[in-house]
Amino acid sequence: MIDVRDLKKDYIDEGEVTSALRGVSFTINKGDFVSIMGPSGSGKSTLVQILSFLDRPTGGTYTFFGRKTDDLSDIELAHIRNKSIGFVFQSFNLLTRLTSYENVEIPLIYSGVPVASRKKMIEDAIRSVGLEEKIYVETAKLSGGQKQRIAIARALVNDPDIIFADEPTGNLDSVSGAQVMSILDGLNRNGRTVILVTHETNTAEFADRIIRLRDGVLESDTPVKNPHRSREQFAK
C-alpha cells in the first residue's frame, strides 16, 4: 500500500540546502506493523511527515494504494489525512478545553459526517480504548495515559487504513505506555497498518519489522525475530 522510491527531502534556509532525506526506498504492505528508528537528525520525522501527507517530498516517488501522489492538491491531501490516516502524537495534541467526545468528533467534522450519525461512531471509538466513563469529561482533567487513549480514539474514529504513532509512549509512565502499546497491537491484529516512530528499541520491537535511518539514508530494514514474545515481555 505504501511504496517509496528514492525519496528525497531538501530544506532550503537562507540559500543553504539541508538534505533531510537523501533517497530512501521501501514498501509497507497492508496490515504491517513497522517501527521507524533512528537518532535525532536521521530524517525519521521528515519521513513520517511525508508518508502521512503532512509534507511533500522534493524528489523521488511516493505511491499510496497504487496511486502516485506528487500531483495531489492540498485539498486532496487533506482528504487523505482525514479518511485514510490516523495520528497519535507524543504530546497528545488534544484540545484540552473540549471534552473527550468533542475531541474525538473533530475528524468527523471535516469528513462531513452528519451530526446525527456521529454519536455512535464516537462512542464506539472511545469504548475501544476503554474510556467510556470519561466520554463527557474535559480532557484537561484526564491523566497522561487517558489523554493518549482519547487521542487514539480520535485517530480511529474515521476508520483509517493506517495509524501513525509518533513516540506515543514518550510522555507516559511505563504502565500507561504498556496500555497504549497493547491498544496499538490490538489494532494491528485487527488488520490495521501501524507505523510507529520511536527511539526505544524495546518499544520498536513490538513491530514485525524495523526500518532504521541514519543521516537521511536507510541504514537497515530488518524483520523482528520474535515480535510476539517481545510484546508479551513489554506487557509484563
Partner 1 sequence: MRVSDLVRSSKATLKHGKMRSLLTMLGIVIGISSVIILMSIGASAQDYILNQVQGLGSNLVIIIPGGSNNGRLSSPAQAQGIIITSLKQQDADALARDPSISAVTEEVRGQAAATFQDNSLTVTFDGVPANFFTVRNFGVAKGYPFTADDVASYNHVAVIGSSLADTLFGAGSNPVGQYINVKNIQFRVVGVLEKKGTGAFGIDQDNLVLVPITVAQTQMLGITYFNDIMVQANDAYNIDFVKARVQTILEQDHGITDPNKDDFTIETQQDVLSLLGNITSILTLFLAAIASISLIVGGIGIMNIMLVSVIERTREIGLRKSVGATDGDILQQFLVESVMLTFVGGVIGIALGALVVSAAWLIINNIAAISWTFEFPLSAIMLAVAVSSVTGIAFGLYPARQAAKKSPVEALRYE
50 vs 224, beta carbon nearer partner 1: 50
123 contact partners, CB below 8 Å, separation of at least 6: 132, 135
Decide: is 75 part of the binding site for partner 1 (CB under 8 A).
Answer: yes
User: Which region among 94-102, 119-127, 187-195, 205-213 touches partner 1 (by CB under 8 A)?
Assistant: 94-102
CB 11 within 8 A of CB 20: yes
Binding to partner 1 in span 137-156, by CB under 8 A: 154
Decide: is 87 part of the binding site for partner 1 (CB under 8 A).
Answer: yes
Which residue has cell 539514508?
A: 217
Decide: is 82 part of the binding site for partner 1 (CB under 8 A).
Answer: yes
Q: Which of 10, 22, 26, 98 binds partner 1 (CB under 8 A)?
A: 98
From the CB of 165, what's the least distance to partner 1, in Å?
A: 13
CB 164 within 8 A of CB 85: yes
CB 17 within 8 A of CB 11: yes
* DSSP tag of 139: G
Decide: is 83 part of the binding site for partner 1 (CB under 8 A).
Answer: yes
> What is the helix (H) or strand (E) element at residue 156, kind and residue range?
helix 144-156
Pairing of strands 33-37, 193-197: parallel
Decide: is 18 part of the binding site for partner 1 (CB under 8 A).
Answer: no
Binding residues vs partner 1 (CB under 8 A) = 49, 52, 54-55, 74-75, 78-79, 81-83, 87, 89, 93, 95, 97-98, 102, 106-107, 109-112, 115, 154, 158
